[in-house]
Amino acid sequence: MLPSMHNVTYITKEKLMSAQKQLQQKQKVSSEHINSSELIKTPLLICGLGNPGKEYVHTRHNIGFAVIDELAHRYRVGYWKSEAGCQTAIITITTSTGQKQEIILAKPWDFMNTSGGPLSKLARTRNISAEQILVIHDEVDLEEGRIRLRVGGGLNAHNGLRSIANKLGTQNFMRLQCGISRPPGRMTVANYVLKELKGDSLTTFLIEAQTAVDKIENILQEK
């Protein structure tokens, strides 16, 4: 049995409720759906983007990994394996029609800008099309804490998305964008997304991961 390969931090229920209230006061909108719901399919592969290594666990760039870890935690995943350059696990959901469906959770075990290689290899191995993949990633052009679901669209200079689109040969995969806002002052984007989070910033990060999982569960239950 392979573990998730890095430590995952969870927060207490009391701290979560308090922080959620603070976050709601700061934000007018916490999430949004795309209007074209018919384009959203039940994903067979849910992939979170991030960088491997303990030093990256609590960084904004690793929100995708954090969401996958929280989703695995909710579904009581106890077994991870190495497959096609990814860490993978299986969860089983019940669809709106009452059918059981297995969903693959994946974390490409490569750095962000080359994550497309492992993901595309895993998709080919499992015979999963690009349209059946949901990619979770950080988004600097969304307010911190805001979640947006979309299909296709531009890559917005995101190296992870660019790598995936290049290797899959299409941009028509589902994305769950987790807003992190743009860096303050003159801080570079690279330094901002790779800065270790602590205190309130870490709490906000963990809450956003949980909010993203709520959104994913809504997608899975609606289909």
The β-bridge partners of 59 are 196
Written as one letter, the residue type at 183 is P
Alpha carbons 186 and 207: distance in angstroms, whole number: 27
Check if 61 is active-site: yes
**Long-range pairs for 118-125 at CB < 8 Å and ≥24 separation?**
118/84, 118/85, 118/86, 119/47, 119/86, 119/164, 119/167, 119/168, 120/164, 120/167, 120/168, 121/84, 121/85, 122/45, 122/83, 122/84, 122/85, 122/86, 122/88, 123/45, 123/168, 125/83, 125/84
The one catalytic residue among 6, 61, 137, 158: 61
CA atoms within 13 A on the CB side of 152: 7
Helix (H) or strand (E) holding 166: helix 159-168
Alpha carbons 176 and 137: distance in angstroms, whole number: 7
Alpha carbons 88 and 6: distance in angstroms, whole number: 14
Phi/psi at 146 (5° precision)? -90, 140
The β-bridge partners of 104 are 45, 90
Name the residues annotated as catalytic: 61
